[in-house]
A and B are shown apart, each in its own frame.
Chain A
């Protein structure tokens, strides 16, 4: 019996030792552990729709059909006047009649208050209508009077930008972030095939004439638009029946990455984020027309 007792002692000690070594950290305050009941109550409160009304509408069913979004951007109030470009050299070529042209950081029509050069594009479309497939043709991108003639341009991947120089002086055209930086001789042209998509338009500059600035949007599909003098845009044949997210961008947009945050008082189904992104779901064959009013504070000038 004595042996058995000793054996019991030993086995007990042996089995205690590893437990003591591995399991218990005696001197360290490990802190509290979640109480199962309380955690469950919190979980139920958080998943109930109240905490986040958008929670249910997440995994959107893929819709069918196509729709159109169009509209006009209007400046709220009086826009600040644009100073002329700071032309520091070659006045004879780079000015018109000795006067430098006004800057294009914010171009607003005097009467209609329509905003030019606003970029709208659809982010991550789930499907693409054939009319919005990328193109493969050539697009002209010219410079004259030491200005880029298309101040904001948009092309699809696969298109070729024919970068021209209609001045009598040399320019170098630097598409920042695209890895293109070439000297375009006076009267010359260089083609540049668009290779990749951007989420934010690339800035285009000329280091010889540092005031020259333009922006180039490159997308994998045709779901983009740039407003003209009338501030109007139209994007046709976007996927209907599913949540869409449009990015609104302007070179002087104050939101992150140049996002432009407008208001659409008469279209509450447009949900604006503070990055200038708009969420909306359109019905098949719907043509949604919106008036977007942009306050002065949405611009960073």
Chain B
């Protein structure tokens, strides 16, 4: 049976190398950046019900489903390049070092840091627990669910890519929630406290970009400099060699964050 499965594997491996070589000639690299802001009054999120462990109660973890910074900046929105199944995108050599680094996900103050983790397939995910209480970290996309003792650490290799960010939870502390996005390539970004994001060294050409937010899901019908995102929160953007495509302020309607 293993021989049998190996057959399909060889086909897969060959096809992958083929596609890789087709797209190997990138006509240079460019970047995209922008700032995502909320248009209107952002909806209020319910406070977390922290029912367990005095330590967690004292730490007062907040509901990060919608975080809005100064000037209505939308924090923790995710922007990433979307590649169709079976396709590949060439990765700039500037990302070589990153591919070998591990990504740290810390249980700290009874919440996940970062709230949204970005990882490339093949990278190691180091899961830490900086709290004095034990946690378990349940990363469904990698079928991983392990206890992480106080000051302990566990590790898993990012094995598969997910089309969208998927939840990371702690079953011991059900109020803890984070997300993880795993892609075959490094072209992903999460908006910071000021709502800005930047993705560098993308192969020049036209690519599909996905705009996503935890509460809003697909960020649909969002006006961009040219055109708008479709009903799956995607837009085709053209990246030019040596240039940075500045999308400016991207306004997301408050109503779409529900």
Contacts and interface: CB of A to CB of B under 8 A. Distances in A.
Contact of B11 (A54, A58, A277, A300): A54
Interface stretch (B12-20, B109-117, B218-226, B241-249): B12-20
Contacts of B13: 271-274
Interface in A33-74: 52-55, 57-60
The range of chain A's interface size is 20 to 34
Given A254-B122, A273-B13, A52 B2 contact: no
A52 B14 contact: no
A22 interface: no
Nearest to A57: B7
Nearest to B16: A274
B3 A274 contact: no
A124 B1 CA distance: 10
Interface size band for B: 10 to 19
A52 B9 CA distance: 11
A59 B7 CA distance: 11
Nearest to A243: B3
A151 interface: no
A256 B6 contact: no
Q: Is the interface of B mostly helix, strand, loop or mixed?
A: helix
A300 B100 contact: yes
Contacts of A57: 7
B84 interface: no
B16 A58 contact: no
B4 interface: yes
Given A256-B157, A271-B14, A301-B100, A277 B6 contact: yes
B10 interface: yes
Nearest to B100: A300
B157 A273 contact: no
Contacts of A55: 7
Contact of A275 (B9, B100, B122): B9
A55 to B, nearest CB: 7
Given A54-B11, A272-B13, 19 more contacts: A52-B8, A52-B11, A53-B11, A54-B8, A55-B7, A58-B3, A58-B7, A124-B3, A243-B6, A245-B6, A271-B10, A273-B9, A273-B12, A273-B13, A274-B12, A277-B6, A279-B6, A297-B96, A301-B100
22 contacts: A52-B11, A54-B7, A54-B8, A54-B11, A55-B7, A58-B7, A59-B4, A124-B2, A124-B3, A243-B6, A245-B3, A256-B157, A256-B159, A271-B14, A273-B10, A273-B13, A274-B12, A274-B13, A279-B6, A279-B10, A297-B96, A301-B100
